[in-house]
Chains A and B, each alone.
Chain A
């Protein structure tokens, strides 16, 4: 929800409210430290966005707003992925009665991100050992430098997905029509409380944008 609000925000004041809420939620869900890593990582992009905006000719205020929007998008989505495991996502989507194949594709995609990252690092090591210097040359050359990393990465991912499909089929994936889960999710009192709080926050935020023009 904060994610969508970040896209809605238009003034610095609004973003200060959004960001402080994000930080507060990060704090109570104890992921602040890991979140800060993601944000540190995105700082370089942030700088890039800011500079490009200024170079293209927007004024500083607008560039700051765009940067703030970026950072709230990053931090709010990072909260989401840090606090909910792929399994929980799967259960939630199932309870929303989405088609299972769709759920499965989504959850697998999320789950394979770290594996693909690991692959990418190994490929990079492999190609650097063969004298590849990613940072060398002009812009065109640099883009070309990524080819020896991207091609194996894509090929590996395709091979992996094929293997995954075969391994799953050989374990009778899709055999039973009705799926059962080992875990089940139940909303507890504090979840309802959080839900109500978030909804109030979002509604009041939107209302105050439209009626109070803050």
Chain B
């Protein structure tokens, strides 16, 4: 459980607060998307989850423990952060070592490391690269490797910063499956994204940030339908939702994907609406 209570944050030499009065609870088994315009404090917020940043005021508690009293390394065991730019973490000589790096840092035993790395290689289709240099992989593969290197130690929370940037359609689908799988294992996924369509397909709990404040926190449909909040955060409506707002403004459950939309449309036509 991540519990944030009236969190204020600013860098020690700065004047303005980057996060202002943020209060959140993220339980296990949740999918949460955090959206907001550039510079709204999304990345700053997720860096509080594993203690990379400590609150200036207020508190962040992870599984009941204040992050101020815990090291980043021990918090990271349960909260896995995957950053946006793979170039900022890849350094090993082989893909295998890259995957094993964190597990060695956490002091896991050798056979556990072997097992977990093997699993990650297979799950993310990286087996054929296990002995090649990670720097030679393509952009999308590097991104996958970074996700794999975090999932390898099986954290309870997986926090993804812009996971869909530079990924092709199939990879996004795969990512969506991974997220669904994690949720069935009662793990939580927090994603920070600008990708409206991707977020819509996930149907997460949606948190909107603007100027360091949470302006909306709720069901995906409700938040996306809020015109004012959308404008404040510079995001647009997902296309399906937009279409259905035009066609049937008062529909209680707008369709999630195209198949769903087709079925809804057919039903409405049959009713003669």
- Mark A57-99 against chain B: 1 for CB-CB distance below 8 A, else 0: 0000000000000000000000000000000000000000000
Q: Does A122 contact B (CB under 8 A)?
A: yes
B17: chain A residues within 8 A (beta carbon): none
Q: How far is the CA of A62 from the CA of B73 in the complex (A)?
A: 43
Q: A129-B83, A130-B149, A133-B71 are in contact. Are A156 and B105 (CB under 8 A)?
A: no
Q: Are A156 and B87 in contact (CB under 8 A)?
A: yes
Closest B residue by C-beta to A131 = B105
Query: With contacts A125-B52, A126-B83 known, is A131 near B88, CB below 8 A?
Result: no
> What are 30 A-B pairs at a CB distance below 8 A?
A122-B83, A125-B83, A126-B81, A126-B89, A127-B89, A128-B72, A128-B76, A129-B50, A129-B52, A129-B76, A130-B89, A130-B102, A130-B105, A130-B149, A130-B150, A131-B76, A131-B77, A131-B105, A131-B153, A132-B73, A133-B105, A147-B91, A148-B91, A148-B101, A151-B91, A152-B89, A152-B90, A152-B91, A156-B87, A156-B88
User: Inside 8 A of B149's CB, which chain A residues have their CB?
Assistant: 130
For window 22-76 of chain A, which residues contact chain B by CB distance below 8 Å? none
- Is B255 engaged at the interface, CB distance under 8 Å to the other chain? no
CB of A159 closer than 8 Å to a CB of B: yes
Instruction: Say yes or no: B105 contacts A152, CB within 8 Å.
Output: no
Nearest opposing residue in chain B for A147, CB measure: B91
Mark each residue of chain A from 144 to 156: 1 if its CB lies under 8 Å from any CB of chain B, else 0: 0001100110011
**A156 CB contacts on chain B under 8 angstroms:** 87-88
B133 to chain A, nearest CB (A): 11
Does residue B237 face the partner (Cβ distance < 8 Å to A)? no
Roughly how many angstroms separate A125 CA and B77 CA in the complex, as a whole number? Answer: 15
Bound-state Cα–Cα, A155 to B87, Å: 8
Contact with A along B159-189 (1 / 0, CB 8 A): 0000000000000000000000000000000
Compute how far the CA of A151 lies from the CA of B73 in the bound complex, rounded to whole angstroms.
20
What is the bound-complex CA distance between A147 and B89, given in angstroms? 11
Chain A contact residues: helix, strand, loop or mixed: helix
Write out the residue numbers on chain B whose beta carbons fall within 8 Å of the beta carbon of A159: 87
With a cutoff of 8 Å between Cβ atoms, the chain B residues found around residue A151 in the complex are: 91
Cβ contact within 8 Å between B71 and A129 = no
- Say whether B106 faces chain A, with CB atoms less than 8 Å apart: yes
Which of these, B73, B101, B150, B153, contacts A128 with CB under 8 Å? Answer: B73
Give chain B's interface residue range (CB within 8 Å of chain A): 20 to 34
**Contact B102 A131, beta carbon cutoff 8 Å:** yes
Name the CB-closest residue of B to A120: B88
Chain A contact patch, size range: 10 to 19
A123 lies within 8 A of chain B by Cβ: yes
The answer to whether B89 and A128 touch across the interface, beta carbons within 8 angstroms, is no
Residue from B47, B76, B85 in contact with A130 in the complex, judged by beta carbons closer than 8 Å: B76
Whether A123 pairs with B105 at a CB distance below 8 angstroms is no
Contacts of A155 in B (CB 8 A): 87, 90-91, 135
Minimal beta-carbon separation of B266 from chain A (angstroms): 47
Chain A neighbourhood of B81, CB < 8 A: 126, 129
Assembly CA distance A119 to B50 (angstroms): 20
> By the criterion CB–CB under 8 Å, are B88 and A119 in contact?
yes
- What is the bound-complex CA distance between A133 and B52, given in angstroms? 12
Beta-carbon nearest neighbor of B83 in chain A: A126
Cα distance A163–B233 in the bound complex, in angstroms: 31
A131/B87 in contact, CB under 8 A = no
Minimum distance in angstroms from A120 CB to a CB of chain B: 10
Q: Are the C-beta atoms of B47 and A125 separated by less than 8 Å?
A: yes
> Is residue B80 contacting chain A, with contact meaning CB distance below 8 A?
yes
Distance in Å: Cβ of B94 to nearest Cβ of chain A: 13
Assess whether B80 is in contact with A129, with CB atoms less than 8 Å apart.
yes
Q: How far is the CB of A195 from chain B (nearest CB, A)?
A: 34
The docked-state distance in angstroms from the alpha carbon of A131 to that of B108 is 12
User: Which residue on chain B has the smallest CB distance to residue A151?
Assistant: B91
CA distance A131 to B52 in the complex (A): 11
Q: Which of A128, A133, A151 has the most chain B CB atoms closer than 10 A to its own CB?
A: A128
Q: A202 → chain B, closest Cβ, in Å? A: 35
Q: How far is the CA of A119 from the CA of B89 in the complex (A)?
A: 11
What 0/1 readout, one digit per residue, does chain B (52-77) give for beta carbons within 8 Å of chain A? Answer: 10000000000000000001110011
Known contacts A125-B83, A133-B73; can you find 9 more A-B pairs with CB under 8 A? Answer: A122-B88, A125-B47, A126-B89, A128-B73, A129-B76, A131-B102, A131-B106, A155-B90, A155-B91
Which residues of A are found within 8 Å of B71, using beta-carbon distances?
133
B window 228-255: CB within 8 A of A: none
Sort A-B residue pairs by CB-CB distance and give the 6 closest, nearest first: A131-B105, A151-B91, A130-B102, A129-B81, A126-B89, A126-B88
